[in-house]
């Protein structure tokens, strides 16, 4: 039951009876309902000045008149206070309707079909070929994965794209290094690490021998020209990288629908450049071709270098057009760090100038930087944390904690994997995405703080209560849920759909992450204050139903941000 909408309809019906009605919209009235800062002031409050203009009455007169008119079985009372209508819910009815809604809707509780028939394309993770997957890719990967799940939850068709970094002179250098010093079996065994060694050696020796760089450029030209040998090695490098990255994606539970990277758009940039010429958008600047964006407060978008080479934006223009043509998206999201804000503003403006009205459907979902235990990351200075290593260490640390706290637990390795990986992901998604993250083991793996392990443990606690209780066939007495602790849980359960919708609209998975902590804390407070397995069967049944509803909603919240919910810990 949508209590806000129900109260809004009561307000409109009462206004019609008292004043003959007004041109008002129930959704607008519902949106104006507020949550009082103190529960003693009511569960909801409506500021009647919102109706003053339409009804041509003072807020206090409106408030007094409506308070006398409104009656509903789910309201215990309505009070008029200085132009505000304060609504007090009947706690037993409130608990009954919320808990039964959660349990009856099951996995679909919190969702709707607002995205039915719509498509969203999400560009996230975007790892580089011949480089290891590092902690810097954690945010884009998990924010993108959470948004993918959220859109599906609301009925959208989601298309996840891993826009691989697989183009540039460095790949010619990689092949030159491989041909000089590498061999197939060593690279096959060593994977990306072995390719990185070859690349590092190439750059070191190229400092002394400039001819090596010419050799690298020549190999890249062979890739561009479609030379069979160059393409075979290049494609093999990609397959080795994706196999390495695949282990990390498997740990994270992340999948993609497309791995079309930069190289995929090689033959698709020509038509884009022709359209830019036809529209009169391309201008020459010192031999290069640009789109002038100065009238829009931005530096020019460099489309072609003076030597005719394309750039990131050229490929991104081709990619955007391809995605629209292929998927006919209603939204296209780019989950990329905030440093690329100018790039995407330029990209979207150029698309708009090309006459594509769907440019308005493109959105840059920016996020902050990642540091590790107080230190910024730098590849050049050797301060890099590989994601696979981080996840494996998290699993190992979780295994040690489980061994200490729950030595009798079955499947310790499986639970350690769920908890360890979940701790890392939860940490990455806890703060507003635009904030920088400093990864800390002490905070991530704390079972008592605002962390993934804490929320997972609460889910396992709910499962334990329900296992021990067994079947209870009594009629629930929802008056047993009228205490403040139970009501806090009920109120949070009611807020889950609105939280999910807000997270979707704002591209902000942290809203669900934080919600899961709030619900876990509320349930734990209820658990410590009120015994569930009491003798009185009606009370027992109601509290078990509340526990089941909390368990189900915590599990769904965790699922939406990409975490498992262990049943035993």
Place of tokens 């019609």: 16
The string of DSSP letters for 441-504 reads: HHHHT-SSSSSHHHHHHHHHHHHHHHHHH----SPP-GGGG-SHHHHHHHHHHHHHHHHHHHHH
**How far separated are the first and last CA of the chain, in Å rounded?**
34
Q: Are the C-beta atoms of 79 and 63 separated by less than 8 Å?
A: no
Q: Is the Cβ–Cβ distance between 433 and 143 less than 8 Å?
A: yes
Cα torsion angle, 466, 472, 474, 475, sign: positive
Instruction: Tell me how crowded residue 117 is: count the other CB atoms within 10 A of its CB.
Output: 9
Contact 240, 195 (CB under 8 A): yes
> Which DSSP category does 88 fall into?
E
Q: Which residues, 6+ apart, have CB-to-CB distance to 470 below 8 Å?
A: none
Angle between helices 228-252 and 169-181 (to 10 degrees): 100
Q: In what order do the strands lie in the sheet with 288-291?
A: 282-285, 288-291, 301-304
Which H/E stretch holds residue 77?
A: strand 75-81
Structure tokens at 64: 């007094």
Residues 530 and 536: their CA atoms lie apart, in Å, by 13
What is the C-alpha to C-alpha distance for residues 102 and 92, in angstroms, rounded to an integer?
16
Residues 128 and 143: their CA atoms lie apart, in Å, by 18
Q: For residues 511 and 502, is the Cβ–Cβ distance under 8 A? A: yes
For 540, counting Cβ atoms within 10 Å of its Cβ (0-12 exposed, 13-18 middle, 19+ buried), the class is buried
DSSP percent split of the chain into helix, strand, coil, nearest 5: 60, 10, 30
Please report where in the chains the tokens 């619900």 appear, as a residue: 519
Which strand (E) or helix (H) includes residue 76?
Answer: strand 75-81
For residue 2, what are the contacts with CB-CB under 8 A and spacing of at least 6?
Answer: 30
Show the DSSP H helices in 57-167 as ranges. Answer: 59-69, 91-105, 138-153
Q: Which residues are catalytic?
A: 131, 134, 137
61-92 as b/e, with b when 16 or more CB fall inside 10 Å? Answer: bbbbbbbebbebebbbebebeebbbbbbbbbb
């Amino acid at each position: 039951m949508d209590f806000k909408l129900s109260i809004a309809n009561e307000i409109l019906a009462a206004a019609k009876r008292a004043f003959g009605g007004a041109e008002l919209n129930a959704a607008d009235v519902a949106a104006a309902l507020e949550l009082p800062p103190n529960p003693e002031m009511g569960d909801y409050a409506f500021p009647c000045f919102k109706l003053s203009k339409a009804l041509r009455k003072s807020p206090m007169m409106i408030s007094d008149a409506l308070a006398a008119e409104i009656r509903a079985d789910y309201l215990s009372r309505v009070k008029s206070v200085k132009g505000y209508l304060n609504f007090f819910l009947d706690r037993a009815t409130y608990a009954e309707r919320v808990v039964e809604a959660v349990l009856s809707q099951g996995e679909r509780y919190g969702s709707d079909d607002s995205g039915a028939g719509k498509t969203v394309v999400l560009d996230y993770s975007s790892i580089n070929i011949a480089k290891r997957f590092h902690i810097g890719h954690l945010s884009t990967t998990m924010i993108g994965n959470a948004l993918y799940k959220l859109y599906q939850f609301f009925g959208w068709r989601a298309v996840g794209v891993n826009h691989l970094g697989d183009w540039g002179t460095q790949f010619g250098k990689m092949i030159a290094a491989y041909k000089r010093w590498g061999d197939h079996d060593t690279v096959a065994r060593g994977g990306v690490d072995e390719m990185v060694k070859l690349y590092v050696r190439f750059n070191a020796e190229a400092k002394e021998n400039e001819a090596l760089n010419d050799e690298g450029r020549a190999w890249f030209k062979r890739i561009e020209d479609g030379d069979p040998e160059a393409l075979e090695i290049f494609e093999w490098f990609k397959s080795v990288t994706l196999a390495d990255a695949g282990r990390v994606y498997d740990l994270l539970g992340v999948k993609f629908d497309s791995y079309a990277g930069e190289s995929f758009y090689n033959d698709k940039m020509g038509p884009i450049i022709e359209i830019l010429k036809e529209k009169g958008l391309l201008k020459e600047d010192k031999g290069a071709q640009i789109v002038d964006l100065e009238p829009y407060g931005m530096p020019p978008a460099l489309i072609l270098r003076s030597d005719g080479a394309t750039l990131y934006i050229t490929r991104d223009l081709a990619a955007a057009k391809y995605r629209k043509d292929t998927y006919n998206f209603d939204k296209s999201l780019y989950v990329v760090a905030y440093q690329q804000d100018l790039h995407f503003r330029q990209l979207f403006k150029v698309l708009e100038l090309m006459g594509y009205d769907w440019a308005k459907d493109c959105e840059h979902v920016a996020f902050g930087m990642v540091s590790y235990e107080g230190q910024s990351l730098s590849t050049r200075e050797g301060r890099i944390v590989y994601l696979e290593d981080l996840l494996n260490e998290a699993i190992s640390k979780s295994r040690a904690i489980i061994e200490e706290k729950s030595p009798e637990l079955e499947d310790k390795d499986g639970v350690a994997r769920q908890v360890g990986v979940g701790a890392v992901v939860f940490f990455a998604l806890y703060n507003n995405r635009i904030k920088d993250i400093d990864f800390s083991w002490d905070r991530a793996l704390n079972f008592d703080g605002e962390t993934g392990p804490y929320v997972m443990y609460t889910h396992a606690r709910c499962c334990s209560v329900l296992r021990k209780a067994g079947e209870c066939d009594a009629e629930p007495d929802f008056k047993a849920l009228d205490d403040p602790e139970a009501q806090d849980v009920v109120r949070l359960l009611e807020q889950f759909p609105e939280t999910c919708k807000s997270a979707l609209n704002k591209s902000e998975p942290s809203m669900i992450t934080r919600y899961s902590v709030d619900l876990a804390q509320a349930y734990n407070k209820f658990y410590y204050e009120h015994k569930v397995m009491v003798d009185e069967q009606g009370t027992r049944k109601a509290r078990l139903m509340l526990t089941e509803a909390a368990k189900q909603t915590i599990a769904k919240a965790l699922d939406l941000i990409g975490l498992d919910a262990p049943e035993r810990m």
